[in-house]
Structure 1
């Protein structure tokens, strides 16, 4: 058997410079020359030379590329920009409902690009679901067509979420088999039609406040160490619709009750909290309603100009460690990107990316999670 994973791991050290969140790489406002997912070519949709950068998730529902000038009436697709460190390389993402598989293109050493659902008898790991979101895994190996030798692959994992209505969805692809953050990507979108085939659009309310609740799930990978972990939690948002004057919306996202799992699905939250306590003896351990220790809550940085009339949101977020003496320390920081959908903005889909330091081994982590919330 030909084994190459160790060599890849050793050679895959990517530059640490600028590896904090997306550092201004805003998918809603790309740099000059970078595709924003709204081009004319449609990345395989119509065969024109638009490149793969413009393709949304494909599934049984109609999922066209984004438009050149997004409006509340149009579908919108956003994807992780290529950051020079491996992020944003996942392309041509497709969910196949018939056999419950997931296809991802443009990632090296992920087999034949078809990801199988986790948690099955033939799966590598037992995680096939994180809350309402599905988890898929790449092939463990491939066969050399010339020699017949078995070549080991990297362990990519994909998380896929679609809303109850089918109006919105997201996908995240990451691997923990690089010594740095490595290659992957994310996509989130508002579709042109819902699961019933009805046209989707956004009618943005102009008065009142609204509360949203839903679920959150994601992956953690590390800079300076291998390994992939899962995180899950509850997502909640509040929006002050009456203050959308000049795009100055009152918006906030909170991710609570976050728990950490290893790649096999074992809950390792207590282990993580114990390491935090060792580094911070005066730590006020965050807990859920049942008294269980949880990861620090993700909170928003309230600021103007975080949302527009198309329903797109970009907002900075952070997590703090609170001490018993009232002092705080930053545990993670980053931002999230989201899109509203519905006749009364009934649902919101988004992806959050935060960076922090892991207390168990003093390396940096990157958490990429998706959420879908519904108006209550």
Structure 2
């Protein structure tokens, strides 16, 4: 039986998203040094410009959707020289992935040349009426490599979170999943799922209560081929501050296979924000880590000799995902 994994503290994801102590390609060695935050996200890396507030986690410092449907992602190494246009991530047009209905599209950094784009990154990006959300990762490092996530909200600096009663928000989720199979593009896959967020606005009295779930995840390789499914993610009770930021959330999934069924499969954190003048939307990010596969027939596309549903996968994976959900 797989022993339970403890939920990591809020915003430990800032180090988990980074080089993880194994940041250099091929040779290993020191990764990037990233600190951990405590308290409400509104008090650390949230940056407001005009009427748009941006929150980032991990190594990146910003994600911009350009008018030609490319992404510019700041501060990730070897994804194209900044300011030249070569750093732009292009839309992949993965019809099978988009057909799942999640409101996100997939992007990739440029192909390597003799002098540029020495690492290959993959990203997801989506937008709501008041929000955007994106996540990025690479398989070109010994560990989970460089990457991270961003969400933004616009229109108001502090949504009305003094609503009465309860609400159920529904929407979509997309993630970039990086495994430790062996390095390179085969280590990266995309995930999509439905997202449901439940809110009790006045209980608890000063913070409310926010819970939810990401449904069973469909997994696709970087060419859009379906690989299988992964368990649903439970989003434990979190809270909001007066500015509408959601914090202190633990995320986990349960194994569905063999004698490990019911054991914790992945664990991590989640956070987010209310958006819109009447809190019509919720946007957020999740970072979750665990074994790369549940069993021999599960997502990943690789066969490990002797692997069966009762065997704990020796490879690990980290998924960085984002969601946008609306109160219908």
TM-score bucket (shorter structure): 0.7 to 0.9
Residue by residue, what CA displacement relative to the aligned partner does 1:321-348 show, whole Å, maximum 9, x if unpaired?
2578896211111111110012321110
Structure 1 distance, partners of 2:89, 2:327, is: 32
1:230, CA displacement in angstroms? 0.7
Task: Name the counterpart of 1:139.
Answer: 110
Check conservation: 2:53, 2:157, Cα contact below 8 A: no
Structure 1 distance, partners of 2:117, 2:96, is: 20
Task: Name the counterpart of 1:159.
Answer: 124
Task: Name the counterpart of 2:26.
Answer: 10
Secondary structure of the structure 1 residue equivalent to 2:270: strand
Q: Name whichever structure is richer in strand by fraction.
A: 2
Check conservation: 1:339, 1:349, Cα contact below 8 A: yes
Distance of aligned partners of 1:295 and 1:14 in 2 relative to their CA distance in 1, 3 Å threshold: farther
2:137 to 166, 174, 180: 174
Written as runs of structure 1 = structure 2, the 5 A alignment for 1:351-366 is 351-359=285-293, 362-366=314-318
Q: Which has the larger radius of gyration?
A: 1
TM-score between both structures, scaled by the size of structure 1 = 0.65
Distance of aligned partners of 1:331 and 1:75 in 2 relative to their CA distance in 1, 3 Å threshold: same
Task: Name the counterpart of 1:147.
Answer: none
Residue by residue, what CA displacement relative to the aligned partner does 1:250-287 show, whole Å, maximum 9, x if unpaired?
21120113111111111111xxxxxxxxxxxxxxxxxx
Distance of aligned partners of 1:254 and 1:23 in 2 relative to their CA distance in 1, 3 Å threshold: farther
Secondary structure of the structure 2 residue equivalent to 1:139: coil
Check conservation: 1:118, 1:128, Cα contact below 8 A: no
Alignment partner of 1:369 is 2:321: yes
Structure 2 distance, partners of 1:212, 1:128, is: 21
Q: Which runs of 4+ in 1 moved over 6 A?
A: 125-130, 323-327
Secondary structure of the structure 2 residue equivalent to 1:246: coil
Task: Name the counterpart of 2:277.
Answer: 343
Distance of aligned partners of 1:317 and 1:371 in 2 relative to their CA distance in 1, 3 Å threshold: same
Structure 2 distance, partners of 1:11, 1:214, is: 41
1:153, CA displacement in angstroms? 2.3
Task: Name the counterpart of 1:100.
Answer: 69
Over aligned residue pairs, what C-alpha RMSD do you find?
3.2
Structure 1 distance, partners of 2:240, 2:263, is: 28
1:106, CA displacement in angstroms? 2.0
2:202 to 213, 230, 242: 242
Task: Name the counterpart of 2:92.
Answer: 118
